[in-house]
């Protein structure tokens, strides 16, 4: 049996081989290159292997940690998506909570009145119906803080208020203007039994406005040609990239005047002989609450809580307003629609009551 087959196993970091006795050199054919003993690993090599072993173990531990964190973040992502889907599917809430016992119903009109806004006719009409239909509501307060908006949406709400007042003659509807109740917002308020505001509130602006931009001068400077193809002579009506035509402007003015007439008639029908005789009443001007009281645009100065306490006799307010879903609120806070709003303002001519 050769010395390589010896039973003795070499250990890590064995002592280095001792020098051979005289006469037993490395050239001996029987003893091989390392003499009688098996080749021993120097101490430096043993330390290297231990370092490699530690490195491998640390890599394995790091992989385990990575897997655990990966699982954690996957669960977190699934949870986030689940919550997001829930928020998307959650409908617009009616805002009514704890409507037990006698109370004063509250409906908010906040922001621009438009079909795609919170103060749309669908939301306001639905909230008003719920408020009037509630058995324990003694009266309805329409709290307004809006500069106006679409005459169509305002007209829908105005007509529904008139209908609800006829259907529920025992329930009064009070409009309370906070910061501003102008144009389309005042259109809606005119349908109420009574209107109240703060002395510094902005009230009125009974008029109609439509605006846009003309880019023809800029296009000439840039050397841009307008190429527009239509079927129907008025299909490109008031195109902002084409020169104005007197006939189109005159026709559009007649549309504005007709809409203004509808607005004036609605205010006169709602306010009746409470309106003062003043030539500028329907000129589109806006007044403070004190001035509006003198002109008969409002019936008094007071807040929502004052109306509920002093006029209705039920200080408890229950909000029937329709609110946005949490997901919609998040999107609005992130400002996703800012660019779209700016572009639509620049490129579209919008009819609004102001």
Catalytic residue positions, numbered: 183, 235
Going by the DSSP 8-state scheme, the letter that residue 53 receives in this structure is: H
- Report which secondary-structure segment, H or E, holds 48: helix 43-89
Going by the DSSP 8-state scheme, the letter that residue 301 receives in this structure is: E
For the chain, give me the number of helices (H) and strands (E)? 10, 10
The answer to whether the CB of 186 falls within 8 A of the CB of 224 is no
Dist CA 153 CA 148 (whole Å): 10
Dist CA 204 CA 269 (whole Å): 15
Residues in Cβ contact with 298 at an 8 Å cutoff, skipping those fewer than 6 apart: 177, 195, 196, 197, 203, 289, 292
**Burial of 157 from C-beta contacts in 10 A (0-12 / 13-18 / 19+):** buried
Dist CA 238 CA 255 (whole Å): 13
Report the SS3 class of residue 247.
helix
Structure tokens at 325: 């879903």
The CB density around residue 328, as the number of other CB atoms within 10 Å, is 15
Dist CA 95 CA 138 (whole Å): 18
The CB density around residue 118, as the number of other CB atoms within 10 Å, is 20
């Amino acid at each position: 049996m050769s010395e390589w087959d010896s039973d003795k196993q070499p250990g890590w970091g064995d002592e280095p081989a001792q020098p051979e006795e005289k006469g037993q050199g490395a050239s001996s054919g029987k003893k091989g290159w390392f003499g009688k003993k098996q080749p021993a690993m120097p101490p430096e090599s043993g330390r290297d292997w231990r370092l490699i072993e530690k490195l491998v173990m640390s890599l394995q531990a790091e992989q385990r940690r990575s897997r655990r964190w990966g699982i954690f973040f996957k669960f977190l992502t699934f949870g986030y998506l689940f919550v997001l889907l829930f928020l998307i599917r959650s409908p617009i809430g009616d805002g009514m909570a704890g409507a037990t016992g006698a109370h004063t119903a509250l409906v908010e009109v906040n922001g621009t009145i438009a079909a795609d806004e919170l103060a749309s006719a669908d939301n306001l009409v639905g909230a008003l119906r719920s408020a009037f239909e509630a058995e324990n509501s003694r009266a309805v307060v329409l709290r307004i803080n809006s500069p106006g908006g679409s005459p169509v949406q305002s007209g829908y709400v105005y007509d529904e208020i008139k209908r609800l007042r006829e259907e529920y003659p025992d329930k009064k509807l009070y409009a309370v203007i906070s910061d501003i109740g102008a144009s389309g917002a005042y259109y809606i308020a005119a349908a109420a039994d009574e209107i109240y505001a703060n002395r510094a509130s902005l009230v009125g602006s009974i008029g109609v406005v439509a605006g846009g931009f003309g880019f023809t001068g800029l296009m000439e400077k840039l050397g841009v040609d307008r190429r527009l193809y239509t079927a129907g002579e008025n299909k490109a009506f008031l195109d902002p990239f084409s020169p104005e035509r007197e006939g189109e402007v005159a026709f559009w003015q007649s549309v504005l005047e007709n809409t203004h007439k509808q607005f004036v008639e609605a205010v006169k029908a709602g306010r009746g002989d409470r309106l003062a005789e003043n030539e500028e009443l329907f000129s589109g001007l806006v007044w403070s609450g004190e001035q509006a009281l003198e002109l008969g645009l409002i019936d008094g100065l007071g807040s929502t809580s004052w109306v509920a306490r002093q006029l209705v006799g039920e200080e408890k307010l229950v909000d029937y307003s329709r609110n946005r879903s949490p997901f919609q609120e998040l999107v609005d806070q992130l400002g996703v629609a800012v660019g779209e709003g700016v572009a639509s303002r620049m490129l579209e001519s919008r009819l609004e009551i102001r």
